[in-house]
Amino acid sequence: MARSDSSKNPATDSSKKVAKAAKAGATPSANVGREQRSLGFPLAMAGVIVLGTALVAFAWGARDVEALQPSFNDHWHLPYGIYDCQEDSFLPPLTDPARPNSGIHTHGDGVIHLHPQSSTATGNNAQLERFLEAVDAEFDGDDALTFVDRDALREEGTTCDGEDVVLQVARFAPGETEPSEVVTDNLGEFRFRSDQEGVVIALAPAGADIPPPPAASIETAQGASPNVLRTDGLQNLPGTLEQNSIGGFNDDGVLVDGEGNPILDADGNEITQASIQAEAEAQAEGDDAEAEGESEDTESDDADG
């Protein structure tokens, strides 16, 4: 007679199978959770890197505008000319509409006066188009230069000595008669880089000789107020230079603040280049006389000894 196996319990086996299935079914979702947690940190770091890169790029862009010359304390004078090969001569200097501008303008003297009034005229923003805006002129693309008081200079249909012409801008280092740079594209973005450099807008065949600015413009620029602000001889100026927000000398040689207002000394008088120079020379003479007196006293003491 066969003995029955009482050790097997159908209910127990079923509960074990259910528990095993539940455990197996829970594994995929747990893995997904772990994967999500493992991806979260790299994604967050990637976001930080992207944001940081963007901030660095922005900071460098801002630095270019503020830190590069010309800056708010600069006062440059650049002789310029507009040369037309059809006439083989320069056009008359552009006139000054006498209205507010970025600080890049002219007085009708053949000179670009550059003393920035805002960041639109500093650093990389000190461009030729800012000057043209101030005199009611503009580039029509890179093919023409238009004015309100004279005929435009246009490449189309124009030749010189039988050659097609190109509108171009040439840069001349101070005192040089050969251009250091000639550009034919993005003319409005031509950037002013240093005091006293010459700038010529020329309508001429590609590769043609471009003359430097007219001699009268160069002479006027050289005789204008210097870019470097002298700080010797300012003993009568109340406070510090920073407190007075010194901007430089205006075209009359008067020391002005960043908004162009004359700065007065302790006696209420305007401070000019001439007065600063005179005071500095007087102080230097006084120092020399004092040093000479001390030397004589020393010699006298030696003789008495």
Interval 6-54: pLDDT, tens: 444 544 555 555 455 445 444 454 454 555 555 565 555 555 555 555 4
Residues of the chain predicted below pLDDT 70: 1-67, 225-248, 257-259, 264-268, 277, 280, 283-284, 287-288, 290-291, 294-305
pLDDT at 151: 95
Query: 166 lies in which domain range?
Result: 76-221
Structural domain total, the chain = 3
Residues 82 and 128 in one domain: yes
7 located within any domain? no
Give a yes or no: residue 297 inside a domain: yes
Q: Specify whether 101 is located in the same domain as 208.
A: yes
**Measured CA distances, 167 to 53, 74, 76, 202, 217 (Å):** 39, 30, 25, 6, 21
Asked if the structure places residue 286 within a domain, the reply is yes
Helix (H, G, I), strand (E, B) or coil at 264: strand
Q: Pairing between strand 246-249 and 159-160?
A: unpaired
On whether both 88 and 215 belong to a single domain, the answer is yes
pTM equals 0.57
Are residue 203 and residue 110 in the same domain, yes or no? yes
Specify whether the CB–CB gap between 65 and 122 falls below 8 A.
yes
Place of tokens 């908004």: 259
In a domain, 6, yes or no: no
| Residue 232, domain member (yes or no) | no
Q: Provide the pLDDT for residue 283.
A: 67
Distance CA 205, CA 219 (A): 28
52-86 exposure pattern, b = at least 16 Cβ within 10 A, e = fewer: eeeeeeeeeeeeebeeebbbbbbbbbbbbbbbbbe
Residue 80: per-residue pLDDT:
98
Tell me the C-alpha distance between 62 and 123, whole Å: 10
Q: What are the beta bridge partners of residue 82?
A: 201
Q: Count Cβ atoms below 10 Å from residue 34 Cβ, excluding itself.
A: 10
Region for residue 239 given its phi and psi (left: phi exceeds 0; alpha: psi -120 to 50; beta: otherwise): left
What is 159-209 written as a DSSP string? Answer: EETTEE-EEEEEEE-TT-SS-SEEE-SSGGG-B--STT-EEEEEEE-TT--
Instruction: Let me know whether 60 and 85 are in one domain.
Output: no
Does one domain contain both 154 and 198? yes
Domain boundary among 171, 188, 221: 221
